[in-house]
C-alpha cells in the first residue's frame, strides 16, 4: 500500500471518529457537561502520556517543554491554545448533550472558511476570488438564520472561531501532534483537577457514583480524544493539504446525519437554507483549492 493511501485511510479514520463521537457523548448525557470536560482533560493527559511512554518519545517531550520554557512567548501562547481547545471541547460536549448537534455540525463546516480569514488577518496570506465568494456565501447563510430565522447560531460560531483561533496558535508553535496534546493537557491539568475538586464539593459528581458504564465512558473520553488526533497527525504527514481539506468535511456530514435521522433534531426551512449556503460555499472553496493544487503540480512538473 502506498504512503498516500495510508494517509487517506488515517485521515478518514480520524474524521470518521470525530463524526461519530456524538454517539459516545450521548451515552453520558446524564453527566454534567463541566464534569465531562474536566474528566476529558484529565484522562486525555493520562492516555496521551502513556502513549508517549509506549512509543518512547518522553525525552523529546521533555525537550519540547524545556524549549517552550526558554521562549516565554510560545509558552504563554501554548497555554492559551490549551484553554481555547478546552473551551471548544466544552461547547461541543454541551451542544451534543443539549440537542444542538446540527449547530455543532454547521460550526465545523464553517471552520475552514474562518481559518482562511484568520490566515489573511494573522499571516497575511492571499485569498483567492473564489474563496472570497465562498466566505461571503457562508456569511449570508449565517446571516439568514440570524436575521430571518430569528436565532443566532452562537454554538456554530463559537466552535468555528475557537478552533480556527486554536489553529492560528498551533501554526505559530509547530509541535508534534501527540506530544503537543500531552503538553497542552499538562498545562490545563491543574485547572481541571481544581475544577473537579470544586465539583466534588458543590455538586453530586457521576464518576464512581452512578454505575460502571458511566465510569468507563468517562475514562474512555481520554482515548476518544487521543486516537483521532494521532490518526490525524499520521494522515497529515502523508497526504497533501487540499486532500485533507476534502476529507475534513466527512466529520460534520456524519454529525449532521446523526442529528437529523437518529436524534430527530428539527431541520426546518431556515436550517435548510443556511446549510445550503454553507454547502455551496464549501463546494466553491474545495474546487478552488483543487484547482490551485493542480496548477502548483503542473508548475512543479515543468520545473523538474
Interval 19-35 mean pLDDT: 94
pLDDT at 221: 94
32 SS3 class: coil
240 and 15 in contact (C-beta within 8 Å)?
no
Concatenate the DSSP letters of all residues of 65-113 into one string.
HHHHHHSHHHHHHHHHHHHHHHHHHHHHHHHHHTT-HHHHHHHHHHHHH
Classify residue 150 by its DSSP letter: S
Instruction: Reply yes or no on whether the pLDDT at 211 is more than 90.
Output: yes
Instruction: Reply yes or no on whether the pLDDT at 289 is more than 80.
Output: no
Q: pTM score > 0.85 for this model?
A: yes
| CA 229, 235, 239, 244 torsion-angle sign | negative
Cell 518519545 sits on residue: 57
Instruction: Reply yes or no on whether the pLDDT at 299 is more than 70.
Output: no
Interval 231-258 mean pLDDT: 81
Residue range 125-141, pLDDT digits in tens: 788 888 889 889 988 98
226 and 51 in contact (C-beta within 8 Å)?
yes
Interval 220-248 mean pLDDT: 80
What is d(CA 94, CA 260) in angstroms, rounded to the nearest whole number? 18
Interval 290-304 mean pLDDT: 70
- The answer for residues whose C-beta is within 8 angstroms of residue 202's C-beta and 6 or more apart is none
Instruction: Reply yes or no on whether the pLDDT at 177 is more than 80.
Output: no
Q: How far, in Å, are 116, 122, 173 from residue 168 at the CA level? A: 10, 8, 9
Q: Where are the domains of the chain?
A: 3-303
Neighbours of 173 (CB within 10 A): 18
Per-residue confidence at 63, pLDDT binned at 50, 70, 90? very high
The torsion angles phi and psi of 266, rounded to 5 degrees, stand at -65, 130
For residues 111 and 255, which has the higher predicted lDDT (pLDDT)? Answer: 255
What is d(CA 46, CA 273) in angstroms, rounded to the nearest whole number? 43
Per-residue confidence at 196, pLDDT binned at 50, 70, 90? very high
Instruction: Reply yes or no on whether the pLDDT at 94 is more than 90.
Output: yes
Residue range 34-47, pLDDT digits in tens: 999 999 999 999 98
Instruction: Reply yes or no on whether the pLDDT at 91 is more than 90.
Output: yes
pLDDT at 265: 93
The torsion angles phi and psi of 301, rounded to 5 degrees, stand at -65, -35
Distance of alpha carbon 178 from its chain centroid, rounded? 15
Helices 177-202 and 212-238: crossing angle in degrees, nearest 10, is 160
Interval 77-101 mean pLDDT: 93
pLDDT at 192: 94
Instruction: Reply yes or no on whether the pLDDT at 218 is more than 70.
Output: yes
Classify residue 31 by its DSSP letter: S
pLDDT at 224: 93
* Nearest alpha carbon to residue 176 among 41, 55, 14: 55
- The answer for residues whose C-beta is within 8 angstroms of residue 290's C-beta and 6 or more apart is 242, 246
For the chain, the average pLDDT equals: 88
Classify residue 208 by its DSSP letter: T
What is d(CA 187, CA 178) in angstroms, rounded to the nearest whole number? 14
pLDDT at 303: 67
Instruction: Reply yes or no on whether the pLDDT at 96 is more than 90.
Output: yes
Amino acid at each position: 500500500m502506498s504512503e498516500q493511501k495510508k494517509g487517506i485511510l488515517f485521515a478518514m479514520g480520524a474524521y470518521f471518529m470525530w463524526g461519530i463521537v456524538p454517539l459516545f457523548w450521548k451515552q453520558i448525557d446524564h453527566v454534567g457537561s463541566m464534569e465531562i470536560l474536566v474528566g476529558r482533560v484529565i484522562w486525555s493527559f493520562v492516555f496521551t502520556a502513556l502513549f508517549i511512554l509506549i512509543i518512547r518519545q518522553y525525552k523529546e517531550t521533555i525537550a519540547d517543554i524545556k524549549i517552550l520554557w526558554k521562549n516565554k512567548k510560545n509558552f504563554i501562547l501554548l497555554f492559551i491554545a490549551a484553554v481555547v481547545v478546552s473551551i471548544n471541547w466544552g461547547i461541543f460536549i454541551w451542544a451534543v448533550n443539549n440537542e444542538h448537534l446540527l449547530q455543532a455540525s454547521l460550526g465545523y463546516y464553517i471552520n475552514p472558511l474562518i481559518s482562511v480569514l484568520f490566515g489573511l488577518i494573522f499571516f497575511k496570506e492571499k485569498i483567492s476570488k473564489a474563496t472570497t465568494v465562498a466566505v461571503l456565501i457562508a456569511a449570508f447563510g449565517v446571516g439568514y438564520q440570524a436575521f430571518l430565522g430569528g436565532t443566532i447560531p452562537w454554538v456554530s460560531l463559537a466552535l468555528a472561531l475557537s478552533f480556527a483561533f486554536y489553529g492560528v496558535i498551533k501554526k505559530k508553535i509547530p509541535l508534534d501532534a501527540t506530544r503537543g496534546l500531552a503538553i497542552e493537557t499538562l498545562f490545563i491539568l491543574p485547572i481541571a483537577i481544581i475544577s473537579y475538586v470544586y465539583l466534588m464539593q458543590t455538586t453530586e459528581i457521576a464518576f464512581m457514583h452512578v454505575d460502571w458504564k458511566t465510569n468507563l465512558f468517562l475514562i474512555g473520553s481520554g482515548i476518544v480524544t487521543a486516537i483521532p488526533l494521532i490518526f490525524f497527525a499520521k494522515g497529515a504527514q502523508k497526504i497533501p493539504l487540499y486532500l485533507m481539506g476534502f476529507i475534513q468535511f466527512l466529520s460534520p456530514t456524519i454529525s449532521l446525519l446523526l442529528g437529523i435521522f437518529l436524534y430527530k433534531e428539527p431541520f426546518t426551512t431556515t436550517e435548510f437554507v443556511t446549510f445550503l449556503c454553507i454547502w455551496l460555499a464549501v463546494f466553491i472553496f474545495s474546487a478552488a483549492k483543487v484547482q490551485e493544487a493542480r496548477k502548483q503540480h503542473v508548475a512543479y512538473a515543468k520545473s523538474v
